[in-house]
A and B are shown apart, each in its own frame.
Chain A
Amino acid sequence: MSPGTNGHADTGPVTRSAAQSRADARSQSDDLASLYPFLYAHPDNVGHDRPGAGDLEAVLAEVRRSTVDKAHQIVALRREVLARDSQRLAACATAMAAAFATGGRLFAIGNGGSCTDAADLASLFLHPGPGRRALPAFALTGDIAVLTALSNDVSFDVVFARQIAAFGRRGDVVVGLSTSGNSTNLVRAFEEASRRGLLTVGLAGYEGGAMAELGSIDHLFVVASDSVHRIQEAQTTIYHTLWELTLDELIST
């Protein structure tokens, strides 16, 4: 990425090899100053051709450092998720593939940012693009008429549980995403789904919250972080991985 009219033309092979060397060096050194010298340019040495430019450069330097920190944080967090859950991801994909193979459908649920992940997850299964098998999936977050009707007439806490009661059959799959793990409407939905014999898959953050306390979610993945953003980023990787492993499982069985 470049500002102005420069497009991205200067982020070619040189940048790729620099990033590769940083990736290679990561285990030997966490010394950001040597890996990212551009982060540590002293503000007094640059940009004094106009008033306030030193201040601007200092803030830009702070923002650059923060950007690099966050990229490194999510790489580290994904490593932790993989170390703890790789076997459980494979087992979950096996169960999901078995559900699809016997006519099951997938329902995805979540609130806020997780609502957009639910929509993305459902769309990924239903419309995965060329060469990949399309599977029956939809998000229970997409129909505003249903959501507002249930919220207005009953309670926001039942928006997903009531839809699962209406649509859900034994052998279907519910995937629910929450960063806190505490969304009441997800907890109610998982309870309803368990009662009806659906396969339940939960993605939570922090320490799992109420979703972990529930004890009944068949496959629960807790991203142990206290950053909502990093949790969401790791959860995106988890559902992408589940999708890919599920499709592979359907091909190989």
Chain B
Amino acid sequence: MGILEVKDVNKRFGGLQALGDVNLSVRENTVHAIIGPNGAGKSTLLNCLVGKLIPDTGSVMFDGQSVLGRKPYEINQMGISRVFQTPEIFADLSVFENMMIPLFAKRDGSFRLHAFEGVGSERGLTQEAEAMLDEVNMLEKRDFHAGALSRGDKRRLEMAMCLIQRPRLLLLDEPTAGMARADTNNTIDLLKTIKAKRDITMCIIEHDMHVVFSLADRITVLAQGTPLVEDTPENIKGHPKVKEAYLGEAA
């Protein structure tokens, strides 16, 4: 049993079968990549995992509990965090405040009327936020306005915001999309150190083969809404079906 079990998921948009009988099992403490050409249904699948879309049929179980029908904030409270394709952060707030919000969410749940405490007077949470910023090398930017950060820093901030909640599953939607080679390598290194330091399961949707093969323990190849094959990176590389559907097309 994996920590995330997707069974027979179907999703239709009008006449388009976006997902057809998707089965997926993500094992705990692994990095699982989902790859596939444009329009393969990767993003639709991800949206079904986080509550943005509800599949027409099938089930999505996280740690033995169904996520279907739950709101995104409830799914997050179950232990699933998400990194977006373009970094989604609180651009009008400071970097420090960006870190405090997920901490409060983790401690107090989806709503609490804590109107008369100071944000910074929470010693324990402040230290936790600063330690996490230190881990992603952003401590010196603690009081910066988050909207003024570079794109790479925004990405690191978003990951830090997700990780500080100690999620059991981290979903990454093309974390290196639109990045230069050097930035991509930095992100790979960052993800590797993150993985090495803690027990976390990652599920990455990615276009860039270089990223996928440097990080993934297992790979699922999706084509036209259906999983073609699921295997280790070594086996995927030589798989004829994959070459045909994906790598062949790229070449």
Do A and B truly interact? Answer: no
